[in-house]
Structures are given as structure tokens and as C-alpha cells.
Structure 1
Amino acid sequence: MSRADEVRARILAAAVEVFSRRGYRAASMNDVAEKVGLRKPTLYHYVRTKQDLLVAVYEEVLDESLTSARTIVAGAPSTREAVRRLIVERVAYTCEHRDLLTICFEEESELPDELAAPILARRRAFEDLVLEAVQAHLRATGRTLPMTPRTYVNACLGAANWTYKWFDPAGPRSPRELGDDVAAVLLPVLDG
């Protein structure tokens, strides 16, 4: 990683902390510069706008999610296990990156349409990957769901993603254990 890439990574980490703590709208580039220990003109050498930082947060989350999901599906020993692992990983990632997910779930309206469109396309690609895993399981087992597969996927992702609001890092369950719990509740519908 080049020095410029290292500085950009530090800036993004600072932006995540500042945006998740203060809210995107209330945060300023001065806040980010101060957090990362740079002067504001130096910050602008690496990042053009506050919106660019917000887009970078979304890109990081969605790129990591897509890469992880593809790896999970490719390496799962069965279609059911692929779906189970996707749910567990989504819960674990959400719990482990609550600051990132707080921004993604609460600041989407801050993105102008031209910046939101590619991000929404990435999110749909992730959702479609999960949907394909569910449909592969249904085809392999000949089962059906009491709802559309997309509704099932949206319910699973909604349950997994909402943990950013209530997960307690000091609580009795680790992120992965909580993921196992959530999957245990959701999979019986798939097993129908």
C-alpha cells in the first residue's frame, strides 16, 4: 500500500467515526481533518468533498459484502449451508462494523441521485447474490416458500441488518454467535 493509500484509509476511518458519531449532515471536513491529524488543505489533497467520503463508506461496505458473499457461496458444501453462512456473516459483519452500518442505513438520503444510483446497483447485486443462493437451495431440494424468495431474502437481510441498532458488544453473545441464533430462527422457513 502506498503512502497516499494509507492516508486515504486513515481519512476514511476518521470519516466513519465522525459521521457515525455526529451524523453526516452535522459533521464537517474540519472535523475529519482534525480527527485524522491533517490540516484541511492537506485533507482536500486526498478527498475532494464530504460526499466523496460518504460514497467511499458505502463502496467499502458493499464491496466487502459482495466479496465475502461470493466466497461463502463458492465454498459452501451445500445450498442450505450457503444460505446459513450468508445470514451468519451478514449479522457478524453488521455487529462488528456498527459505525459503518449506522452511516449506510441512516445517511442514504444524503446521496444525490447521480451518486446513489451506482451504490444502489451494488446493493442490488449483493441482494441478488443472496437471492440466487436461496433459489439454488429451493431448486436443489424441490421446496417452496410460503412467500416469494425475494420477500424471504428481504426479511433475512432486514433481520440481519437491524442488529446494528441493538447488538451489545458487552452482551452474552459474540457477533458470530448472534449470527448463528438469527440463522436458526430464519432457516426453518427455508426448510419448510
Structure 2
Amino acid sequence: MARGRSAGYDDQREAILAQAAALFAQRSYTGTSMNEVAAACGVSKPALYHYVRDKQALLVQICLAHIERLQRLVDSVEAEGLPPEPRLRALILRFVEAYADSQNQHRVLTEDEKFLPEADRERVREGERRVVAAFARALAAVRPGEDFATLHKPLTMLLFGMINWMFTWLKPEGALSHADMAPVVADLFFGGLQAVRVPHPTPSFSPATPAIFPTPETTP
């Protein structure tokens, strides 16, 4: 009879994935060993293998979990049945805020996806395509018309260019938070510079991301 999982198995597994994402974000996937993951998690290496098969499986699970979370965000916004502009604004705001809570996972997805096995890389990219398609649909609803249709996908990619790399320059301990910057991105995208309103920074707080998250070398 197979031994059942303990009551805290899922919580421990999630903690391991979070710690592994932090290490990969700081040192890169190739620069991190399973011994280092086990030490950072406070478990033995044999115990670590009880939760994950190997380092590659860690990478797969981190990337898939992150893209699945983004897909759930899309689904939740679409389920609200908002008018076109509020719908696209909601997608922008929630994605930027979600990235604030998953900077390590987002860095791993953007920088280490290339190390995924081909089948898993395709699963992740299929999820990414569905997320991009949802943004493109939302943008098309704001600016419909056949004459503008050829720009829906390029504009969507420009929008992702604004938000996907924010982690490289927005410091967690800086004056402005992701929550502050989210409406700025939406205002800039919809109305250009004249539409941007100066944010009132939220009170500073200890960032939820682990202390080992690297400090970006560039600042706004």
C-alpha cells in the first residue's frame, strides 16, 4: 500500500517552489544546485526529492504555476463582464500587481524558460499565447474596426513590453510600488503622456519577496 501524503505536503511543496524560484532568480537556473535549494529550504536533499523529481522538474513547476496564475487572472477579469476600457484597464492593473507578488517567478519565466524540455516549453508558451490573445481581444474591443485590426497584436506586445520588464528597474524598497505604477501604465497606454497622473506613493512596507532577490542595477 502506497504511503499517503502528509497534511502539510502541498504547503511544503509550495514553499520549496517559492524558495527555488528565489534562488534561480538570484543565481540563475544553471547556477543553482539542488544542494543549495535543499539548504535554503531547511530540508535534506533526500527529503527535497520527496517533493520534486529533480531540478528540471522544479523549473517546469515554477514556470507552469506562474503562467497558470496569470491565466486565472485573465479568466477572473473576463468573468466580470466589464465594458471595453475598464476591462483592459483591469487586466493591466491586476497583472502589474500580480507581478509584484511573484517577481522571482516572473524573472525565472522570462529568463530561464529556454531551459525547459521542449514539451513543457510548448505548454508554457501555449499559456502565454492565451494570455496575449486575451489582452488582444480586450484591446480590439476598445478600438474595433478592420482598419485597426492589424495593430491589435503589435499594440498588445508593446503593452506587455511596458509591464513585463518592470521588475528589472522598479526596486521593491523604492518610493513607488507596483500598485502605484499600474495606473500609470494604463493612463500612458490609453492617453499618452498628457493622460499620466502623478501617483501618491503607498506607505513603504517590507517587500514580500525574499531578501535574496537581487537589487536591480538600474533605477527609473
TM-score (norm 1): 0.89
Matching residue of 1:56: 61
Give the Å deviation of 1:188. 2.8
The answer (yes or no) to whether the contact 1:95–1:175 under 8 Å persists in 2 is yes
The answer (yes or no) to whether the contact 1:73–1:133 under 8 Å persists in 2 is no
CA distance in 2, matches of 1:78, 1:67: 19
SS in 2 for 1:129: helix
Matching residue of 2:172: 169
Give ranges in structure 2 of 5+ residues lacking alignment: 1-5, 193-220
Give the Å deviation of 1:82. 0.7
CA deviation profile, 1:131-158 (whole Å, cap 9, x unmatched): 122223334xx59649510001111111
Pairing of 1:65-84 with structure 2 (within 5 A)? 65-75=70-80, 77-84=82-89
Q: Give % identity.
A: 27
CA distance in 2, matches of 1:73, 1:146: 21
CA distance in 2, matches of 1:79, 1:143: 17
Pairing of 1:141-180 with structure 2 (within 5 A)? 145=148, 148-180=151-183
CA distance in 1, matches of 2:38, 2:86: 44
Q: Higher relative contact order by CA 8 Å / sep ≥ 6: 1 or 2?
A: 1
Q: Choose from 22, 30, 37 the match for 1:32.
A: 37
CA deviation profile, 1:108-147 (whole Å, cap 9, x unmatched): 11112122111111111111111122223334xx596495
Query: Which amino acid in 1 is paired with 2:118?
Result: D
> As a proportion of its length, which structure holds more helix?
1
Distance 1:147 1:165, change over 3 A: farther
Alignment RMSD (CA, Å)? 2.0
The answer (yes or no) to whether the contact 1:138–1:144 under 8 Å persists in 2 is no
Distance 1:68 1:167, change over 3 A: same
The answer (yes or no) to whether the contact 1:88–1:180 under 8 Å persists in 2 is yes
Query: Which amino acid in 2 is paired with 1:150?
Result: K
Distance 1:178 1:143, change over 3 A: farther
SS in 1 for 2:143: helix
SS in 1 for 2:93: helix
Residue 17 of structure 2 is aligned to residue 23 of structure 1 = no
Pairing of 1:3-152 with structure 2 (within 5 A)? 3-75=8-80, 77-139=82-144, 145=148, 148-152=151-155
The answer (yes or no) to whether the contact 1:73–1:82 under 8 Å persists in 2 is yes
The answer (yes or no) to whether the contact 1:95–1:167 under 8 Å persists in 2 is no
Query: Which amino acid in 1 is paired with 2:103?
Result: R
Task: Give aligned pairs, total.
Answer: 187
CA deviation profile, 1:7-43 (whole Å, cap 9, x unmatched): 2112111111111111100101111111111111111
TM-score (norm 2): 0.78
Distance 1:38 1:66, change over 3 A: same
